[in-house]
Each structure stands twice: as structure tokens, then as C-alpha cells.
């Protein structure tokens, strides 16, 4: 996350291919104005085990660096944000990515240039397309965990390590190896007993546990401090 010493950060994140993992595509853009839009947690909010219902299977971004769009649409297709009458699909995720590529600060746009994008731009795209009224930011691990416990899912943009490419039989991954690039995805659950967060990737249902995976609060905290970011939407 950005901090008071470095409130405004923009950066392209180099992506490296992997035998076990798919495409990534997240770059960094933290706007200092985001400090004015913190997540609005209820007074007395506590961290408790919860998983938000998502009936759609994991999206598959394929060879496109559209993870920011996939993660953003993942959030709005999951309760309590899912709207009736909206067709949530990979096609919509690509539409959000296309729109995001015009909102971000990266030279070029999709199509035809597959530049990747940012969580900030994806949230702007959701709003522009009428899929949400707005968005707010989680500025700490505590914010993320309480949001997952009480409000709804979150899109995170984090460094993606080689150790995340291949979940174990229980869907667990750990920070390990080198940073392979920047990735964005949906967090949709928290396990307070085992101190895990549950996420869904955009590499199709054959990866992980039908596209889902989990990692520790400790790793999430580390990743948030490595210029990570977390955003949720408002209805």
C-alpha cells in the first residue's frame, strides 16, 4: 500500500512467464486522493469466518493481461453486489479491461495493445459502465479482513510470487520464489480460525480448487506492504 511518505505511486510491473501459472497483467497506480475514500466499516466490526456466495465459475483470461477486469467483475458478480439483469461473464470482464485501459496512465489501450492495467482503472471502469455506484479502499490488513467479514468481497492487486502458481491439494499457496509480476483477483472469504483468506483466480476452473485458492493473513499483510492495494464497491 502507499503510505504517508510515498502517497502517490505509479509503476509498470514486469511479468515473467511460468510453467504452472497463467497470465497476469496488473500494474501499480495509487492516487493520493484515494485516502479520502476509505472503506466504511460498521462501528464495532469484527473479523469472523465468512465466504460470500459466487455462483459463477472462475473466469479464464487466457493469454490476455486482463486480470484487473476479471477481479473487478468477480467482486460485482458476488453477493451482496450482484445485480439482477446483468450478464456476468468473461466477455464483460474483457469489456471492463478495455475500459480500464483507457482510464489508466499506461501508454496504449486494449485493443489492440495488451498493456495490462490497474485496480484503480478497473474500479473506474465498473463505475463508468454502471456496474457499481462507486468504490472505496482498504488501507490495512485489518480493513481487508473486516470488509470480508462484514461488507463483501474485495479486489486486490498484489505481487504474484512463483509460490502462488501451484496450489496444494487443499488449495493453499505461500509466498515463495521470485516475484513473477503483478496480479489482480477477487478475495471472497475469510477463515478466522486458520487465519486464511480465500480467493478466486482468473485462470479457469481447472486451476486450484475450481479456480479458488487460499493464503495466510501473514502473506496478505506482506503483499499489501509491497505496494499492494485492495478495493471494494458501493451500491
**Averaged pLDDT for residues 193-213:** 98
Q: What is the pTM of this model?
A: 0.95
**Whole-number pLDDT of residue 97:** 98
Report d(CA 195, CA 217) in Å as an integer: 6
Q: What is the enclosing helix (H) or strand (E) of 102?
A: helix 90-103
**Averaged pLDDT for residues 10-38:** 93
Report d(CA 181, CA 16) in Å as an integer: 6
**Whole-number pLDDT of residue 219:** 99
pLDDT tens across 145-190, in order?
999 999 999 999 999 999 999 999 999 999 999 999 999 999 999 9
pLDDT tens across 60-84, in order?
999 999 999 999 999 999 999 999 9
**Averaged pLDDT for residues 194-199:** 99
Report d(CA 100, CA 231) in Å as an integer: 15
Domain ranges of the chain: 24-29+53-234
Q: What is the mean pLDDT of the chain?
A: 95
| 222 pLDDT higher than 90 | yes
Sign, CA torsion 100/107/27/31:
negative
| 55 pLDDT higher than 80 | yes
| 86 pLDDT higher than 80 | yes
**Averaged pLDDT for residues 32-43:** 95
- According to CATH, the topology of domain 24-29+53-234 is Cathepsin B; Chain A (3.90.70)
For 23, 205, 229, the CA distances from 232, given in Å and listed in that order, are 23, 24, 11
Amino acid at each position: 500500500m502507499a503510505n504517508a511518505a510515498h502517497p502517490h505511486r505509479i509503476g509498470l510491473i514486469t511479468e515473467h512467464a511460468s510453467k504452472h501459472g497463467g497470465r497476469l497483467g496488473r500494474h501499480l497506480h495509487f492516487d493520493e486522493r484515494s485516502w479520502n475514500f476509505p472503506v466504511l466499516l460498521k462501528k464495532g466490526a469484527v473479523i469472523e469466518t465468512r465466504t460470500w456466495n459466487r455462483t459463477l465459475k472462475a473466469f479464464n483470461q487466457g493469454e490476455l493481461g486482463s486480470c484487473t477486469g476479471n477481479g473487478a467483475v468477480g467482486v460485482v458478480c458476488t453477493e451482496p453486489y450482484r445485480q439482477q439483469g446483468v450478464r456476468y461473464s468473461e466477455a464483460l470482464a474483457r469489456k471492463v479491461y478495455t475500459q480500464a485501459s483507457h482510464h489508466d496512465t499506461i501508454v496504449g489501450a486494449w485493443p489492440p495493445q495488451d498493456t495490462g492495467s490497474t485496480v484503480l482503472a478497473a474500479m473506474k471502469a465498473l463505475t463508468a459502465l454502471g456496474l457499481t455506484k462507486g468504490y472505496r479502499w482498504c488501507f490495512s490488513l485489518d480493513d481487508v479482513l473486516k470488509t470480508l467479514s462484514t461488507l463483501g468481497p474485495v479486489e486486490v492487486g498484489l505481487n504474484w510470487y512463483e509460490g502462488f502458481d501451484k496450489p496444494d491439494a487443499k488449495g493453499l499457496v505461500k509466498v515463495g520464489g521470485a516475484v513473477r509480476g503483478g496480479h489482480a483477483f477477487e478475495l471472497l472469504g475469510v477463515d478466522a480460525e486458520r487465519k486464511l483468506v480465500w480467493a478466486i483466480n482468473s485462470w479457469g476452473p481447472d486451476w486450484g480448487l475450481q479456480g479458488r485458492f487460499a493464503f495466510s493473513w501473514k502473506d496478505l499483510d506482506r503483499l499489501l506492504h509491497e505496494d499492494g492495494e485492495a478495493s471494494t464497491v458501493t451500491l
